[in-house]
Chain A
Amino acid sequence: MPGFAVRLLGASEALVLPLAALAASMVLFGIFVTLAGVDPVEVFALMYKGAFGTAFSIQNTLQRAAPLVLAALCTALPAQLGLVIIGGEGALVMGGLTAVAAALALPAGTPPLAVQIAMAAAGMAAGGAWIALSGALRHFRGVNETISSLLLTYIAIAILNHMVSGPMRDPASLNKPSTPPIGDANMIGSIPGMDVHWGLVFGIVFCIGAWVLMDRTTFGFAARMVGGNVRAAAMSGLPVGRLLIITCFIAGAAAGLAGMVEVAAVHGAANAPLAAGYGYTGILVAFLARQNPLAVIPVAILLGGIDASGGLLQRRLDLPDATVMVLQGIIFVVILASETLYGRFRVFNPKEAA
């Protein structure tokens, strides 16, 4: 068998197994909705319609995929160094809140583009600092990054609620506290020709940049070496702490940008709906994409589609809005369980079999 075919077979394992796991999850979910008293065929048909069936639903899907792409990078990038960061939601919230603060701090009459750049910079800096803190605590104090990043998420949501209902509250928002709006002129618009905001483009550019950084530069090589074996990397003189903290900063910056996009393209102000759970779904996207920044893009679109179909399931079949969460949970569990299958099938490793 020619060498490239062997490599292709080896690589196809990383595609076939997740797809098989997805199929298995769909079967389990089908059984689940059947038990809940709904026809699974109807559920899947509606999900397809709600996610990818019409031009409107495709736009809705892509709209939701944008923050997911960015939030997934928050888990996928530190994973290259062997860290499990699950605080994307917190970085997203801090990014969105800081972006609004930046927009409100600028004097009226500042050109919209300058406001938007300031918002993006502020959001990325705040989100980056939030996750870099987890990375720094891990490096300097040995604090487990999974737990610290999740605790930081709860703290970030408390800060959001505090600022929105206190210091930054718009007196005009009565029942649902909110910050003052950033102004229609400062909103980021849609990509020409479609009803999808620029956030999706930001996400795709960020993913490609992250892939180049991790796969094509010495920084990325060093980072992946840390992920392989921290002690060996430190012994060979790599600045482990700096690599760790910079990667966490970039990861947090991605989630912070997601928060800025949500604020500047969807909500128009910072308020409680900013913590909509994109950060948590982003963790699932990253694991499903096997922490590969390029694979994050299609997986985020798929998960965005599942997310988008929730409304239709609720309206047509009277299913609770948590139906989508159940499906995501099943996919997550099955994907992780499928990890045990890697290397078990000889089809993918013909050399060893011979």
Chain B
Amino acid sequence: MATAADLGFWTVPLAIFAGAIRVSTPFLLVSLGECLTERSGRINLGLEGTLVMGAMSGYAVSYLSGSPWLGVLVAGLVGSLFGAVHAAICNMPKVNDIALGIALMLFGTGLAFFLGKGFIQPKAPNLPAIPLGWWSDVEQIRSALDINVLFLFGLAMTPAILFFLNRTRWGLVLRTVGDSEDAARAAGFSVNRVRLFATMAGGFLAGVGGSFLSLYYPGSWNEGLSSGQGITAVALVIFARWNPLYCFYASLLFGGAGALGPALQAVGITHGYYLFNAAPYILTLGIMILASSSTRRFSGAPGELSVTR
């Protein structure tokens, strides 16, 4: 069995690869969900709160029932419930979707901390990983290729959502609602109902993304579990140009950036640990600065989306 020393420098890229898969999973799920919501012309900043609620409820259900899969499902359902609340309140006239998102972010986080108080200590069964590294003798390669199931779920959802948006009738309805309310009404679609479903679907994926945090990596529930992954994923959708495929690439990039700190720490470079942990936020901000423009709108931006106006 090889040890860390044998791989030398290669430990770092390998750890970043493994970390990128691990860390990117919540980014991927939340951004795919938010992509659906934003294509319908509304932004849900409350996904940060949804993520934390998903993490808490998934962990609690896994602990109480003994089945992590049931936990993932309940996390998704709780997420779509939060999505439904966001959509229902935003459907009333004169309510600002950005402000309501901030409110639900605080509410979701508070509720998760309140209900999750009793689940900090106990150990819930976690989700399994698929060992794709069985062919290798090297311990690090094997552990790096232990791919979690929810990443594969996100990987499968990416083309599915792309197909849904561009090749199905419902996808067309969703895009019409997002690009022009007037056109959608003229065609006889219910703008509010479409947005309700789009926000609920987005909430479901964000809830599942939250359950990944508590049920796989780091794999336990505590109050410091999410540190802005939800909000970073919302920003990520904007520079992924509302395209699910770009969301996937961007999530991997983010995962790699997020894995940098722990990977360097593993080989003994602990200096600046907190600064490396901030890498995803610095990266998001940098890319947003490069990708935005003060004079023109984003290409591909849904016409009814308030953030890009």
**Which A residues are within 8 Å of any B CB, using their own CB?**
36, 84, 86, 137, 139-144, 146-148, 150-152, 154-155, 158-159, 161-162, 165-166, 280, 283-284, 287, 320-326, 328-330, 332-333, 335-337, 339-340, 342
Known: A336-B89, A337-B95. A141 touches B278 (CB 8 A): no
Judge if B211 is at the interface, Cβ distance under 8 Å: no
How near does chain B come to A82, taking the closest CB pair, in angstroms?
A: 11
Within 8 Å by CB of A155, from B113, B278, B293, B308, lies B278
- Does chain A have a CB within 8 A of B102? yes
Contacts of B278 on A, CB cut-off 8 Å? 154-155, 158-159
B107 within 8 A of A: yes
- B228 near A332: Cβ-Cβ < 8 Å: no
Chain B residues near A140 (CB-CB < 8 A): 294
Is B140 in the interface zone, CB < 8 Å from A? no
CB distance from B251 to the nearest CB of A (A): 16
**Which residues of chain B are near A165, meaning CB under 8 Å?**
274
**Known A-B contacts A143-B288, A329-B107; A336 and B117 likewise in contact (beta carbons under 8 Å):** no
* Distance of A148 Cα from B284 Cα, bound (Å): 9
The contact size tier of chain B is: 35 or more
For the residues of A in contact with B, the DSSP-based class is: helix
List, sorted by A's number, 7 A–B pairs whose CB atoms are closer than 8 Å.
A84-B99, A144-B238, A146-B307, A148-B288, A154-B281, A332-B106, A339-B96
Contact A158-B110, Cβ < 8 Å, known A151-B231, A333-B104 = no
Q: Are A323 and B272 in contact (CB-based, < 8 A)? A: no
Beta-carbon contact of B110 and A328 below 8 Å: yes
**Which of B117, B275, B284 is A320 in contact with, Cβ under 8 Å?**
B117
Interfacial residues of chain B within 268-309, with CB under 8 A of chain A in the complex: 271-275, 277-278, 281-282, 284-285, 288-289, 292-295, 307-308
Once the chains bind, are B94 and A342 in contact (CB under 8 Å)? yes
In the complex, how many angstroms separate the beta carbon of B48 from the nearest chain A beta carbon? 9
Contact string, B85-99, partner A, CB cutoff 8 A, digits 1/0?
100010011111011
Name the residue on A nearest B296 (C-beta).
A142
User: Would B117 and A84 count as touching, CB distance under 8 A?
Assistant: no
Q: Write the nearest CB–CB distance from B232 to chain A, whole angstroms.
A: 7
Contacts of B108 in A (CB 8 A): 329
Interface string of B227-250 (1 = CB under 8 A from A): 110011011001000000000000
Report A-chain residues with C-beta under 8 Å of the C-beta of B232: 151
